[in-house]
Every structure is written in C-alpha cells, then in structure tokens.
Amino acid sequence: MDLITVIVPCFNEEASLPYFFRAYEQLKSTMRMVSFELLFIDDGSKDNTLSVIKDLAANHEEIKYISFSRNFGKEAAMYAGLQHAQGDYVVFMDADLQDPPSLLPDMYKAVAEDGYDSAATRRVTRAGEPPIRSFFARIFYRLMNRISHTELVDGARDYRLMSRKFVNALLELSEYNRFSKGLFGWVGFRTKWFAYENVERVAGETKWSFWKLLLYAVDGIVAFSTVPLIASTVFGLLSCLLSFAGILFVIVRKLLVGDPIQGWASTVCIILLMGGIQLLCTGILGQYLAKTYLEAKKRPIYIINEQSSKIKG
C-alpha cells in the first residue's frame, strides 16, 4: 500500500485546523487504497495552532508535527516537510482549504498510474481577491515567462502531489533563498495540471499582504533570471551614448552658432534622470548581491523548537 505524506504548513491557523481535519478524514474515506502520513509544520505561530496540532497528534498515529523556533516563512516550512516526509508520494496542502482535497484522488491517479512525476494545480479564476492583487499577479507571471528560462504557469498553486523521485530532486536544491514555484519548474519531469476555480478561506485571515507578495515576486525574479542585470547594463550604455551625443550637439552649436544651450531647469531634469537611472541600476545589483550574501552565510533554512516523537531523524 502506497504511503502519501500530506505536508501542511501552518502559521496562525488555529481557526482553520478543525475544518481541515474534517476534510482530511473525508479524504481518507475516499482513498482507502493508500495510507496517509499527515505532517504539520508550525511556522512559529503565535496563537494556539501548535496546541491544536498536538491534540490531533495525540489521538491519531499518522499525524506528526514540527514546530519552528520562530516564523521562518512558508518556503522554509515546505522544505522542512520535504526533508522529513516518509511517503512514497508527497503533497503540499494549505490548512485554510483553499487547496481542494477533492482533487487529490485524480492527482494520485495521474502520478501513480498515468506515468506523471507530479500533479500540480492552478486557479483559473481569482474571485474574492482584491482586483489590484489579481492584476499584479498576472503581470508577474507574464514577466517571469519572458525573462526566465523556467516556465511558471499563471495561477499555479503550491498544492502539488509529487513522486519520490521528484521530491529527491527538490531536496538536492538546498539554497537559502527559496522560490518553490520556480524550483518545481526548474527540476523538470512530467507534470499534469489540474485547473479549479478559486476557493476562499474557511476561517481566519490571509497572511499574505500586498507588500509580502511584492517582495516574494522580487525573490522569484532574482532567483530565476539575470535579465534585470542585463537591463541595468543596457540602461547604462544608452545613458552614455545619449550623454556623448548631447556633448557633441553642444560643441557643434557653439562653434557654428556661437550660442550655448540655455536652460537651467532642463539641465537639472537631465541630472535627476541620470541619477535615477544610476540608483535603479545600483538597486538591481544590490538585490543580487544581497541574495549572494545570504547564501554565503550558510545559515540554516529553519530551526526546530520541538517535534513529534514520531518524526524520524
């Protein structure tokens, strides 16, 4: 009997966990051909999330948990789950039930029987999201697919069932600055996509503010494309050419007409423009340098505060 490890990253999900567990129990009843390992990763929650998880683990043998010393982020929680998953197949699920458990039987069939290495999900609608967030999300995916060699599917979720081969490939990528949506595509393998309409949270509030999503998008761009560095070089080259042309124009006008270029305001505007381009290029370079600096420190991706006695290793 195949074992499926369900990894559930949690950050302040006290209100959602009872709903999630009921959905999980229903899922088990429809997938009797496999066994389950339910692995909760408490990402430094400040509410009673860990207490709820402990109560569930005490009454169900297949439930395990890991609790971080602080909030390290969902990417760290996902990596910790991969490292400790024992299943033949591994799937990520959110505790807020925005990842429909009803899709899992078909996802399992695609990987276990149809020859795919992973079964991934994508949202075809963004109903319930703020329009500004939906707009920038679409722009991000279009931009990434233009500037990166790693394909990102618009609306892709972290909800993905993976074979052990796929999981082992991901574990080879132990970088500190993680962007899993890009890593899933980078490792390759055959993936079948399942589309579904957006599902709102069953309880609680989203932990992803617009600012956090923007920073996450920047991480993705820096992690999977060097085009911004090339763009900054092009900006610098164009600025030099325009400046050289301007100097020639001023010299020729002075020699032929005898009237130097007038206009203090225009000069200041040009200086500000050039200064802005320089600061933009310096900022782009700084982003790459900062990521390199963090990687060079070789800090652990996460620190465990406590874990279930059923966790191996």
Tally of CB atoms within 10 A around 307: 17
Contacts of 174 (CB under 8 A, 6+ apart): 301
Measured CA to CA in angstroms, residue 19 lies from 15, 24, 86, 220 at distances of 8, 9, 25, 32
For strand 118-123 and strand 191-196, is the pairing parallel, antiparallel, or unpaired? parallel
Which residue reads 């429909």 in tokens?
100
pLDDT of 84: 92
Which residue reads 């591994």 in tokens?
90
249 close to 266: Cβ distance less than 8 angstroms: no
Six-digit token pair at 210?
Answer: 């617009």
Tally of CB atoms within 10 A around 205: 9
Q: What is d(CA 191, CA 313) in angstroms, rounded to the nearest whole number? A: 30
pLDDT of 129: 65
The list of the chain residues with pLDDT below 50 reads none
pLDDT of 224: 66
- Tens digits of residue pLDDT in 246-292: 767 767 776 777 665 566 556 766 776 777 777 777 877 887 887 78
pLDDT of 39: 95
The dihedral over CA atoms of 94, 187, 154, 219, expressed in degrees to the nearest 10, equals: 80
- Residue 101 DSSP symbol: G
